[in-house]
A and B are shown apart, each in its own frame.
Chain A
Amino acid sequence: MLLKIYLKEIKDCFRDRRTLLLTVLLPVIMMTGLTFFYEKMISDGEGESYKLAVNESFEPELAGIFTSYKNIELVHSANPAKTLQDGKVQAALILDPNFSSNIENGDKATVTIIGDSFSQKSSNLKNIVQNVLGVYEKSIFSERMKAKGTAPNLVEPITIEQKEISDQNPNANLIAMLIPLILAIAIGVGSGPAASDLFAGEKEKKTMEALLMTPVKRSTLLFSKWLTIATVGSVTGIITLLVVALEINLLTENLKKAVSFGNNVVVIIALAVLVSIIYAMFTASLLMLTSIIGKTVKESQSYSTPVMMLAMFPTMILSSIGINELSFQHFAVPILNLFSLLKELVFGIIDYEHILITITSNLVSMILLFIVGRILFLKDKWVMN
């Protein structure tokens, strides 16, 4: 009986264009958009061209310090700040009128950099200019010290070397945030319409009464409907993973470089699929409850939206946590554990203890949610309007 109901529900769901659209098309669009956004974000401004406003009196020898930056065009202006305000350049560099003579005489010279912190491009240019001037400042300082007969070792007594504990590409962390976030949103959005339709929708259309009049156990009805929502969510999750894998592999350079699974590629992909299915099952349990509580599809959707928003928090929590700092609680809390486990997988780490904790915590939560759902579904108040 369970199979018959399940197959009918699946047929009904996939005949709904809205479900099809949200299950297949939406993940593709979302993935493409976010993949390109992150690719651009980690490209670190390379290939980007900038315009820097400078005084008309900006000396050619000073301009020489920017010669190695082919992507920076110097725009001479009577009023560099005004040129920046007019949006013609991304930053302005204003030198003290006596800048060159002060440098030559060994006096202090002033430089002002004006930029717009709200603009990514302007911030990038400001940083570049600051770095260029920093190097220039050091060279002047060394020359002055040499002229006074001071050895460079005395001026720079410590050489700082920075090394990373992990040999992973730092951009892997971005992918570790990107994939679970998109996956969680896609599964929630993909299975949402099916969930609303299967309980609140049936109450609204009065098919629920007809169903409850049949000699089928309510638990069987509940389980088959939950299974349908979980299936739709899992299909969305798998499509999302497939799309992200293909897009990163075929359409990006920086993100592609950041991911390297080595010999574990098959196991990692299989585990990612397993995690998606488990998350889809957990989401189905939550959405099942919001749909049972909702009297209409609209009401059910207004309850399910905040539930889907829960998927935003793990990104914020985990963005500042290193891969070796992940501990038991990160794998014991549903939703958070999807993000934690996928983060490990992106970094090529397979920790079976963490996988087991994640599966167990999700199963326990699902059972509890299912018990609540069953209690509600057995009450007249929640199954009939």
Chain B
Amino acid sequence: MTILLEPDQHPAEAPDDDQPRSIDPALPPGDRVFHGFAHVIGLSTLVIMGAIGLFLGYQSIPTFRRYGLGFLTESQWQPEQDVLGISAVLLGTATVAVVALAIAFPLALTSAVYISEYAAPRVKSFLVSLIDLMAAVPSIIWGLWGFFLLQPKAIHVAHWLHTHLGFLPFFHVDTDPEAAPWAQSRYAASAFIAGIAVSMMVLPMAAAVMRQVFSQAPPGEREAALALGSTRWGMIRTVVLPFGRGGIIGGTMLAMGRALGETIAVVLIISPAFEIKFKPLEVGTSTVSALIAGRFGEATSSQLSALLTAGFVLFIITLIVNTLAAMIVARSRSGAVTD
């Protein structure tokens, strides 16, 4: 109040020292504790996670020193003869993942399109949570499903594929498909059956990412397509799918990352075999994770580090696939989060 009465003092003073007040004051003590605490937690997570990565990398040094790059090209895993190599299991891992993706991709795409474009609004959220539930179903359940329910049926499908499409090299099985009682056991425990079980595990991941991206397709463009007389599928083909391309590719690759590392369902279904072959329908294959699960028990310390090296190679492959997937999803027009 008194200031208002003497107006000529302030204007004279203020222009001289027009220093802006510092808006970034020192942290209060409480916040300094908080920051320090958060740093400690973040760094301890970093140390734990980093230690695992470093440990795996460090363990693979003696393996590579002992077996050289032959570790990557040798197919046999015979500890008693000191012959260890992972080329066959890497190929088996890739085979299972390829089969899984060949089945999971079309199903994930159609179910994602169905949920985001065809389903009635009332059931949409229910179907979304069903997909999430499918992702939460433990892998051992899919293993049981694959081994006890699927396998007896799938061997007939495999036999049919071999009989009628056996001229394609990847449908070939080393047995006579026309033999009167055809050899059922030659078609069982194969990468094909394991791949189907794995596909059901990875499918919801891919479908969830795809659906999320589809649902972000700009409504203006959708309505424009419909208003121009497009059919529903025409709208999906010209608006939703091009918009969601990043999500489709990225979701599929995330699924692939999971498919590469899947263990229990594969262990339950396949019978181990260490051969370089790409015959998914035929009995016997092996994957890196199945190799670890099968061989860790009797391993000596050097074999253990060889197993860790195999795990490390698998980790690196998965890491590359996941990183590419995250980049593709993030770079797609949608900028969707990948969770």
A and B assemble together: no
- Interface residues, chain B, with chain A CB atoms under 8 Å away: none
- Interface residues, chain A, with chain B CB atoms under 8 Å away: none
